[in-house]
Chains A and B, each alone.
Chain A
Amino acid sequence: MNSVCLNIPGALTYISLLPLVGMLVVSAIPNMYSRVQRALGMFFTLSTLLGHVLFFKCIGMFSVDTYHFKWIERVTMVSDLGFHYVVGIDGLNFWLVLATSLLSFMALLCSAYEKTKMKTLVNSILLLQLALIGAFISLDLLMFFICFELTLVPVFLLVSMWGGEEGSRAALKFFVYTFTGSIFMLAGIIVLGLMHRCATGILSFNYLDIQSVVANGALWKTNIQLEKWIFWSFAIAFMVKSPMVPFHTWMPRLYKYSPAGSMILSAVVLKLGSYGFLRFCLPLFPDVIAYHVPWMVSLCIASIVYGGFLAVSQRNIMGIMAYSSISHMGFVLLGIFSLSYNGMVGGTIQQLNHIISTGLIMMLLSMLFARKDSRKLSEYGGLKAQMPIFAALFLIAMLSSVGLPGTNGFIGEFLSLQGLFETGAAYAYGLEPFLAGVAGLGLIIAACYLLRLFQGIFYGDLSNLKDRYLRDIKPFEFYAAGVMVIIIFLIGFNPSIVTKTIEPSIGAVREMVIRPAGERPTWKRCEWEEWHKMCNGCNKREVRGDN
């Protein structure tokens, strides 16, 4: 039964560091063996994925029924500065960690056609994977910040090295913009640590410590004004990252010049923003959320409608994808900020869905760009006859992005909107039910631009007679996309596999926000030894049961 027992001390850290090992190994391979470099990269991303899956299976993450962390590892790094190494897994970050590794693997798989600079590509993607997983699992604010910023480096490298001159400018803009955004967060983090010292006498940046003090009201007391400021310092960083209108202008340009393997950028990096809101903003600043809900919801609706509307007229395919991502991320944050149970669950599922559906679309697009080196929509057309399988896969990805029932996209969008309607119909937080109707326009607009994209690539006459010679996609590309399609339908038909693990966590986060101080739930914070004892105990019992 427990033949693979991964619940050893530090397992989460070890597995999450595998990409780092991968980077070291890949760096040692000479450039002439670029296929080996890519193969090794794929090996390490995949082993990270499998390692995490096995590990999560061992600790029972797939059938979790509590909002407490299933696994925490903690090492005190600099105790005087309150800097700890704390990582943990619960329902909020569990799926994101898996999705990150999956998408990194797919990104490497789809960069088979890169001819040069393979080592940089592989190393960048491995570093991105490492940084993203680090950001998702870290429970110390400083460590989160470091990983959050570390993601900028590989993205900057990827875009500036592949996008030409325009690309480097786009990359620079991205770097400066998001860096500026997150500087505010660093200030906020420091204030939080100091506030924690005021409340308890200990300087700590440990998220769990801080949250527990927030929960009983000892941290903010009545200092609403300061809480508002710190909320915004976090929110700005996450709004830039998500991105939310009007902080989105770094994104379309970055998309246009990103290389084929950068689907992980569009699919996963943006989730740092929504995850940040869910993990940090809501539990840490509960008293001021209510004031900001109308603001945030309006910005989300603006993102959905404005982003979608601009996507309609984009001539560059990646431009369409960029604005569509803005629109979709609007749905994610809308659900989260509706602060109703269904809405928050919906937003969280939507966050995952966007990784899968947009990831798949980007994957397919990268296959297309490898064949025809152009990103202008007008240079495509009529490819359905030549590439029927590719067209079918693209259709499924598009439908999932549009949110057709039966695919994963529907559940998320439905629940997000329903949650907003519920809050609005109760006239809570100054919201109104008609807002759900306005946000729902996003569904119509999404159909407009995605159908236009599909029509532009596949319908009509061939734009170029040479395209008559095109083959359909290759088997490995088909299998890669097939995996994603299976996930789309799996979540679409049985969303319980996702919802049942995130539900307890989302419920707890919601309680942390809507309850008054003192009644808010907190996470169990135990030291590693206790966890170890607990887990060992569990295992022994299980083994005994088997015998």
Chain B
Amino acid sequence: MISLENYNWLHSVIILMVLMPFLGALFQALYGKLTECLLGVKSGRWLLGSLAFTFVGTSFGLALLVVKDIFLKHPADVCCFRFTYFDWINLEVLRVPVEMFLDPLSITMVLLITGVGSLIHLYSTAYMSDDAEYSRFFTYLNMFIGFMLILVLSNNLLLLFVGWEGVGLCSYLLIGFWYKNLENAKAANKAFIVNRIGDLGLLLGIFSIAFLLHSTYGINSAGNVITPQILDPRWLSYDIIFGLLPSILTSYPDYATAIALLLFVGAMGKSAQFPLYVWLPDAMAGPTPVSALIHAATMVTSGIFLLNRMHMVFEFSPYASAIVSVVGAITAVWAALIAFGQTDIKKVLAYSTVSQLGYMFMACGVGAYWVGMFHVLTHAFFKALLFLGSGAVIYAMAHEQDMRRYGNLWRYLPVTGICMMIGTFAIAGIPLLSGFWSKEAILHAAFESSYPANLLGVDVATLVGWTGVFVAILTSAYMFRMHLLTFGIPFVNGAERWRLIPAHDHHHHHSESEGAVESEKYDFSDDTFNFYRRELCSHGCHHSDEHHALDKNHEPKEVPYSMQVVLVILAILSIFGGFFLHQHHFLEHFLSSSSAVSWVKPEILVDSYHDNHGVLESLLYISILAVTIGMSYALIVYSRGLPEKEGYNEEKWSRFRLFAKDGFMFDSSLSRIFGRGGYKLSEGFWYVFDNFLIDGIVNMFGKLSSICGEMTRFFQNGNIRFYIFMMSLAILVIIFYILKGGLN
């Protein structure tokens, strides 16, 4: 470690870096509307947008400063800093300070988040410029960056959890940003709830670690006093975990598997792994920049980050690692297959993201954690590019997302088209582009893996490697399908496909509904507390579907320059990023030095024998072959255009695609079982158990007491003779009793 004395400024820079986006969010939330009122909508939004960008950009600048002054000046393995600020939770047995941990891993993530984040902020200033709630959008977006920075920079698991939930909240708010449409709101709820399942896993993982490190428990059932392992109550901080957990896990290997799997459940939720991926495709309901930033580049990769951060636990448990890679492989194949059936351009990208995340987990599962991070970075470049490109297309096509209505957009959107092309090449793994390097590294790691990873007698690593090759074929096929459907296939019946949509008279429809509203007058005479406005303000009521719909008269126009610039920058990164990061194994050395504390690696019995030398030597050719197969499939099928007699409806082509469109019934049946079914079950429980059974028993007691009352009322009948009779009877009994007692 470098002595911190020369770097006192670092302490404040780091917290400033985290606080900047939050300050931005606060400003937008408090003064957003005011600014728009004072400066007018146009210039007000210009100011708000540039402020939002500036706050995130400042964080990026600070991160660059840190890199320049620390990481470029010193070897990476000594660059681990811990900064403590103030106590958040301070109990006798648990102390959670707000503390930050700066090391190669976290600075890599910070650069990614703030870098891509500020680009997307720039893009959003133009993309959202017509939205009525401009400042609300940037409030959430800025807040998201802040929470994401907390997630990656924090030095303890609980603070990581703060960021973890915080980004989930922002994701929820942004997916449901256009809340007028109930479908969006439902998608947001689904994302939050599914993420919560993962969060519970993460929470239980944290509990297990906490239990191992520090049991406050006085006396257990056997009467033994368990003495705490350590006396520092900061037992969720990484430095303590990394320092003490290895030795404990060596003696309790079962705990390693349990903890690893619980943490992985957390990662599965956030990173959309099978079967918890179901929220991510629905999350596309949010604005497109959100999909690019949150649901492709940053938030969904936090699962990979968690595995990288805690990889020590996974290295103690080959079984957990095997499960990680298998789940990753299943997800990669599954989502890639579903992507074939999607007709919504954003859904294709969403499933593609799920599939690529599976790739990353495959890498982590076979022990190549840095490779997972490598793919996180390159994926962030090209997937952000693809999403923003699709956003540009959607923007140009009057918010229509159905690819079957696109086509021939090369003519109208040349810059977007070229950038999207580069993105497609990159994700498909065309040699020398960034996706190629990281994908190659993943396959290499899988075939080379020294992990025993022998699950049920299967050599998991090799299997995962071949799955990766297969997914590479699928990826290039569905990505080229998307590209060709959007930009290629010029004409159907001699016209662009959207020209087949009959023009609809939008204004007529609009005025009709307005008229219906206005015709009704309300009586406010009983509104004594002035709850209602007497008349509607003209600008207060906006419609979410203000923009006109796509029809045959539509002429797509290239997007504004601020959006193009972002696309071009990301395209450049997608081309060269992978190469630069991989040169001289730069990233590998950088990230592998990341663990702050070294520990004795567990000795793992190698019980499986890999012989993948042949594969490794020809891996380059194999992956090029895979890309070519996928690409040529797409070219053969889609360059002919769509069949004339079936119009432009791609759906009719094959049963497989229809089945895939529905996500192989998985998502829909889950929603039916747990969503609809859960609701019905809850209702049933309420009627049967709560109302009938439990309350019935309670009421029965009530009835019983009133019946008792009825019976005793027989004695209280007001008849004097009856009372005298009873009294004499009682006296007789008493006398008899006394006599009997006397006899005894």
Contact = CB atoms under 8 A, between A and B. Distances in A.
Contacts of B600: none
Taking residues whose C-beta sits less than 8 angstroms from the other chain, chain B's interface range is 35 or more
Nearest to A399: B169
Contacts of A252: 690
Interface stretch (A77-85, A352-360, A434-442): A434-442
B210 interface: yes
B683 A466 contact: no
A440 B186 contact: no
A444 B180 contact: no
Interface in B185-236: 185-186, 188-189, 192-193, 196-197, 199-200, 203-204, 206-208, 210-211, 215-221, 226
A507 B199 CA distance: 29
Interface in B525-565: 529-536, 540-542
Contact of B93 (A341, A410, A411): A341
B207 A461 contact: no
Contacts of B685: 306, 309-310
Nearest to A469: B532
B87 interface: yes
Contact of A428 (B92, B217, B517): B217
Given A310-B685, A422-B217, A447-B193, A460 B531 contact: no
B529 A514 contact: no
Given A406-B166, A427-B220, A468-B536, A370 B207 contact: no
Given A249-B695, A313-B683, A469-B532, A437 B200 contact: yes
Contacts of B617: none
A471 B203 contact: no
B169 A418 contact: no
B463 interface: no
Interface in B684-737: 685-686, 690, 694-695, 698, 702
Interface stretch (A40-48, A231-239, A490-498, A527-535): A490-498
Given A370-B529, A459-B185, A425 B211 contact: yes
Nearest to B164: A405
Interface in A492-537: 493-496, 499-500, 503, 507, 514
A309 B517 CA distance: 39
Interface string B166-196: 1001000000100111101110110011001
Contacts of B243: none
Contacts of A418: 206-207, 210
Given A313-B682, A404-B169, A421-B211, A249 B694 contact: yes
Contact of B517 (A423, A433, A451, A465): A465
Contact of A405 (B166, B189, B192, B216): B166
9 contacts: A249-B698, A252-B690, A342-B94, A385-B541, A414-B158, A422-B211, A422-B216, A469-B524, A471-B530
B531 A470 contact: yes
Nearest to A384: B179
B473 to A, nearest CB: 37
B196 A443 contact: yes
B217 A313 contact: no
A310 B682 contact: yes
**Contact residues of A: prevailing secondary structure:** helix
B226 A177 contact: no
Interface in B427-480: none
Given A312-B679, A459-B176, A459-B182, A341 B200 contact: no
Contacts of B216: 340-342, 422
Nearest to B92: A503
A426 B196 contact: no
A417 interface: yes
A461 B217 contact: no
A429 interface: yes
Nearest to A312: B682
B200 A429 contact: no
B9 interface: no
A34 B718 CA distance: 47
Interface in A226-265: 245-246, 248-250, 252
Contacts of B220: 426-428
A111 to B, nearest CB: 12
A440 B196 CA distance: 10
Nearest to B161: A405
A461 B182 contact: yes
B603 interface: no
B541 A468 contact: yes
B217 A455 contact: no
Given A176-B702, A249-B694, A249-B695, A341 B204 contact: no
A433 B205 CA distance: 11
B92 to A, nearest CB: 6
B686 A452 contact: no
Interface of B: 87-94, 158, 161-162, 165-166, 169, 176, 179-182, 184-186, 188-189, 192-193, 196-197, 199-200, 203-204, 206-208, 210-211, 215-221, 226, 517, 520, 522, 524, 529-536, 540-542, 678-683, 685-686, 690, 694-695, 698, 702
A493 B86 CA distance: 11
A426 B682 contact: no
Contacts of A245: 694
A371 B531 contact: yes
A417 B165 CA distance: 17
Interface residues of A, number: 76
A443 B200 contact: yes
A17 interface: no
A6 interface: no
A427 B680 CA distance: 36
A14 interface: no
A345 interface: yes
Q: What 5 pairs across the A-B complex have the smallest Cβ distances?
A: A459-B185, A313-B682, A460-B182, A405-B162, A421-B207
Contacts of B161: 405
Contacts of A455: 182, 185-186, 189
Given A426-B215, A426-B220, A459-B176, A471 B192 contact: no
Contact of A414 (B186, B203, B531, B698): B203
Interface string A148-166: 0000000000000000000
A319 B199 CA distance: 27
Contacts of B193: 444, 447-448, 451
B536 A447 contact: no
A181 to B, nearest CB: 11
Nearest to A467: B532
Contacts of B89: 411, 495-496, 499
Given A313-B680, A436-B204, A499-B89, 12 more contacts: A249-B698, A310-B685, A385-B541, A421-B204, A455-B185, A459-B185, A466-B532, A468-B517, A469-B536, A495-B88, A496-B90, A514-B219
A448 B217 CA distance: 33
A499 B541 CA distance: 46
Interface string A297-333: 0000000001001101110000000000000000000
Nearest to A311: B682
Contacts of B199: 443
Chain B CB within 10 A, most for which of A252, A425, A471: A425
A422 B204 CA distance: 11
B343 to A, nearest CB: 26
A410 B182 CA distance: 28
A309 B679 CA distance: 9
Given A385-B180, A428-B219, A514-B219, A406 B162 contact: yes
Given A417-B203, A422-B211, A514 B192 contact: no
Nearest to B530: A471
B522 A471 contact: no
Given A340-B216, A342-B91, A426 B531 contact: no
A310 B688 CA distance: 11
Given A399-B169, A443-B196, A466 B522 contact: yes
Contacts of B534: 469
Nearest to B172: A451
B683 to A, nearest CB: 4
